[in-house]
Structure 1
Amino acid sequence: MPAPKLVSPTGKDIMLRPVRANAGVEAAYNKQLQRWIEMMHRSLIYFIQAQYRANPPPSLAQDAGWESFRDGSPANAMRRAMHRMSRRWMKAFDKGAEDLAKYFVDKAAGATDVQLKDVLKRAGFTVEFRATYAVNNAMQAAIGENVGLIRSIAQQHLTEVEGLVMRSMQRGRDLGDLTQELTQRYDITKRRASFIARDQTNKMTAVINRTRQQELGITQARWRHSHGGKQPRKSHVEASQADSGKGKIYDIEKGCLIDGEYIWPGELPNCRCTAQSIIPGLEN
């Protein structure tokens, strides 16, 4: 049974408070990603260091001759070790990605519904949200996207690490320099995971909120800038300042025309903008 269409009981439009991404959901998602990355990093460091010491590059091998190297050469031995470790960690991320993605999407969707329900209640409307085809479809799409992103964290990190290790072997660099480079790569991967957690929480909130708006018969909203982030998009700020600071009105189904394309708040990377729903008055 569809939710009732909302109409303001007065002759004036009602502006709802924006629904914002839940910081707790983002933190929980990021925490789990960081834990997996840390486990992978520690494992890689341990095995790479062990392999490096067992089969050092020729320039570090001192008096060792060619015949002393296992697997034909230090580079071959390291490459085979890296492939084994890569398969192991890709398998681990593949195994956990689906469950983590489902957990995150469920929590994000639930938090959005709870917040939107509270926003509506404060405006004088009592609404009970149900599982619908549209919401389920949005959630399934988000699960698929996040599974791919989680897998890409391991895939990208492992590819970069293998490149660093093989170049270090080729140049005959010592283990200290390599370990430092691996730590720098680890920091880059951690920052990427934090970005994914933040960006996907914003996107998930925006998608569920937009879907619920449409189910409630809300057709218009105002674009509101979050005033967060160090480098806000100028066009997004201008959209929020339009109409004497009330925010640019846009069609929820179509999106807001910004920079020559129709987009929704929270859709673009690092966008934290929100939608301020408009419940039309009786005269409208």
Structure 2
Amino acid sequence: MMAKTRYPHAAETAYFREIQRLVTELGKVTLQVFDEQIKPQIKLYGQDGVGYVIDGPLDIIQRAIEIIKGLSLGIFASNEIRNICTRFLNAVNAQSKANIQQQARIIGIDPTQTEPWLDEFMRSSINENVSYISTIRDEYFPKIEAIIYQGVKNGQSIKSIRDQLVERIGMTKNRAQFIAVDQTGSIFGQMTAKRHQEMGVNKFKWSTSHDDRVRQAHRVLDGKIFAYSDPPSEGLPGTPYRCRCVAIPVFGNEPR
């Protein structure tokens, strides 16, 4: 019987929820400050037909945006982000180890007992994901500043500006989901490949998640066997962007 490689769905879901929690809190703060501090200034900015020439309201709007930025530093605190990434990597590693230990029983070894490469891999992967989450915040503020200032200067309604902010918050949540799916597949795929080769497995069978989200290029690879030294042009399972495919080990005495 061919040993299964189980994708870490629970780790992916938990990671997304953790990042989404940060984005949701950031969005809540953004809309609260907008409603309480920015909205009154937008009303003041264009009243009495004076036109957009008053500096006072814009100054207050800028200070309000700085308040959002300041609050975001507490939401996206560096230690909180690192803890989220550490929990995520530990969960992916745990699923990978469980898979490998089960698969290795076929040849009577446990390659996970001594893994000198693992500490550095975990450290670099945690640092990489810390950077990805931090970038969410860094990319968020130029977007909302542009929405607010362009909306005010172009005379857009308060509702229109607020709706655009809500849309931007939704897009930021989509970015969080992309990171969670992409990093889960990529890290898991790299771990699987390394551990398979450490236990002497030189070939793998490509296996998709067998659902309607699988891209066509990966459907045609499903069930095919490749050498780790000569993978398909798509790369190793899990490593292409947002890939949830996995590598199933092919042992020397196993039927193809």
Q: Is the pair's TM-score, using the shorter chain for normalization, greater than 0.5?
A: yes
Paired AA for residue 258 in structure 1 = S
Q: Provide closer, same or farther for how the CA distance between residues 248 and 191 of structure 1 changes in structure 2, counting only shifts above 3 A.
A: same
3-state secondary structure, aligned to 1:275: strand
Distance 1:199 1:66 in 2: 45
**Distance apart, 1:80 and its partner CA:** 3.1
> Where does residue 53 of structure 1 map in the other structure?
39
Matches within 5 A, 1:200-211: 200-211=183-194
**Distance apart, 1:147 and its partner CA:** 0.6
Count of residues in correspondence between the two structures: 253
Residue of 195, 204, 227 corresponding to 1:212:
195
Residue of 75, 89, 102 corresponding to 1:105:
89
Whether the aligned pair in 1 keeps the contact of 2:3 and 2:102 (CA below 8 Å) is no
**Distance apart, 1:163 and its partner CA:** 1.3
**Distance apart, 1:181 and its partner CA:** 1.3
> Where does residue 231 of structure 2 map in the other structure?
256
| Rg larger for | 1
Residue of 149, 152, 176 corresponding to 1:193:
176
The TM-score normalised by the length of structure 2 is 0.86
1:218-245, Cα deviation, whole Å (9 max, x unpaired) = 12212223333536132x32233xxxxx
Residue of 205, 210, 214 corresponding to 1:227:
210
Matches within 5 A, 1:27-66: 27-56=13-42, 60-62=46-48
Whether the aligned pair in 1 keeps the contact of 2:111 and 2:199 (CA below 8 Å) is no
Whether the aligned pair in 1 keeps the contact of 2:22 and 2:75 (CA below 8 Å) is no
Whether the aligned pair in 1 keeps the contact of 2:207 and 2:248 (CA below 8 Å) is yes
Matches within 5 A, 1:165-176: 165-176=148-159
Distance 1:255 1:39 in 2: 45
Q: Aligned pair 1:239/2:225, yes or no?
A: no
Q: Provide closer, same or farther for how the CA distance between residues 135 and 203 of structure 1 changes in structure 2, counting only shifts above 3 A.
A: same
Whether the aligned pair in 2 keeps the contact of 1:57 and 1:169 (CA below 8 Å) is no
Q: Larger deviation: 129-138 or 28-37?
A: 129-138
Q: Provide closer, same or farther for how the CA distance between residues 255 and 57 of structure 1 changes in structure 2, counting only shifts above 3 A.
A: farther
The TM-score normalised by the length of structure 1 is 0.79
Asked which structure has the greater RCO (Cα within 8 Å, sep 6+), the reply is 1
Residue of 268, 271, 274 corresponding to 2:240:
268
Whether the aligned pair in 2 keeps the contact of 1:135 and 1:211 (CA below 8 Å) is no
Paired AA for residue 221 in structure 2 = A
Whether the aligned pair in 2 keeps the contact of 1:90 and 1:155 (CA below 8 Å) is no
Whether the aligned pair in 2 keeps the contact of 1:225 and 1:272 (CA below 8 Å) is yes
Task: Give the gaps of 5 or more residues in structure 1.
Answer: 1-13, 241-245
Q: Aligned pair 1:25/2:25, yes or no?
A: no
Distance 2:125 2:30 in 1: 30
1:56-89, Cα deviation, whole Å (9 max, x unpaired) = 256642378999x6xx332232223213422431
Question: Aligned Cα RMSD in Å?
Answer: 2.7
Paired AA for residue 279 in structure 1 = F
Paired AA for residue 257 in structure 1 = P
Matches within 5 A, 1:110-125: 110-121=94-105, 123=106, 125=108
Whether the aligned pair in 1 keeps the contact of 2:189 and 2:239 (CA below 8 Å) is yes
Same amino acid, percent of matched pairs: 19
